Amino acid sequence: MKVTLVLVTSVNGKLTEGDNTNIYKWTSKEDQQYFFSLIEKSRAIIMGRKTYEAAKHKIKLVPGKLRIILTKNPIKYTNITGQLEFSSEQPKKIIDRLRKENYREVLIVGGNSVAASFLNAKLIDTISLTLEPYLFGRGIHFLDKEISAVKLILFRVKKLNNRGTLLLQYKINRLELKSFF
């Protein structure tokens, strides 16, 4: 099973512009098309509770597509079997469960604490990072939580538009990391 972390940031690594939770104000239509094409294809999507709150007006629940929302208080929310699950399980437990249930690809769509916990648990295989040509002062950083060093291999770069939006795709290099330290 392949686990992909998908994020879009400013050039200086911000997931949001200040406190504004609406990222579609500054992300390009080309990145949005790319992101929603991944969502369309994916059968399992994992996100943090705050990302869910920010995006829920755009989320269309459909049979056959499972959204897992991480929260420490899953009891506060109502699950819809096979479509919407609120969970406080450890990342490894979730991934093991999805593997047993024969999911072939899983998308992790943020935010930063979710990215950090899946990276720390070494559960991410590829990272798809779009850089939008902005610098933001305040805002949530892609990774401001403690993580162990991760060595990446860039396998694709694509300029998505004339403004300079870049799609960068990386694999996690687990083998070299072992010999590196």
Ligand X SMILES: NC(=O)c1ccc[n+]([C@@H]2O[C@H](COP(=O)([O-])OP(=O)(O)OC[C@H]3O[C@@H](n4cnc5c(N)ncnc54)[C@H](OP(=O)(O)O)[C@@H]3O)[C@@H](O)[C@H]2O)c1
Task: List residues near ligand X by CB under 6 A.
Answer: 7-9, 15-16, 21, 23, 47-51, 54, 70-73, 88, 109-114, 117, 140
Per-residue burial over 94-115, b = 16 or more CB atoms within 10 Å of its CB, e = otherwise: bbeebeeeebebbbbbbbbbbb
Phi, psi (degrees; rounded to nearest 5) at 35: -60, -45
Closest approach, Cβ 14 to ligand X, in A, equals: 8
9 burial level (CB within 10 Å; 0-12, 13-18, 19+): buried
Compute the distance between CA of residue 94 and CA of residue 117 in angstroms, rounded to an integer.
12
Closest approach, Cβ 74 to ligand X, in A, equals: 8
Closest approach, Cβ 2 to ligand X, in A, equals: 19
Q: Which residue, 70 or 107, has its beta carbon nearer to ligand X?
A: 70
Contacts of 75 (CB under 8 A, 6+ apart): none
Q: Which residue, 144 or 176, has its beta carbon nearer to ligand X?
A: 144
Closest approach, Cβ 112 to ligand X, in A, equals: 4
Q: Which residue, 146 or 175, has its beta carbon nearer to ligand X?
A: 146
Q: How far is residue 150 from each of residues 10, 13, 96, measured CA to CA in Å?
A: 20, 16, 22
Q: Which residue, 60 or 72, has its beta carbon nearer to ligand X?
A: 72
Q: Which residue, 28 or 51, has its beta carbon nearer to ligand X?
A: 51
Q: Which residue, 164 or 176, has its beta carbon nearer to ligand X?
A: 164
Residue nearest to ligand X (CB): 111
**DSSP one-letter code for 55:** H
Q: How far is residue 163 from each of residues 33, 127, 145, 166, 171, measured CA to CA in Å?
A: 16, 22, 30, 9, 26
Closest approach, Cβ 116 to ligand X, in A, equals: 8
Place of tokens 């070299």: 176
Closest approach, Cβ 176 to ligand X, in A, equals: 27
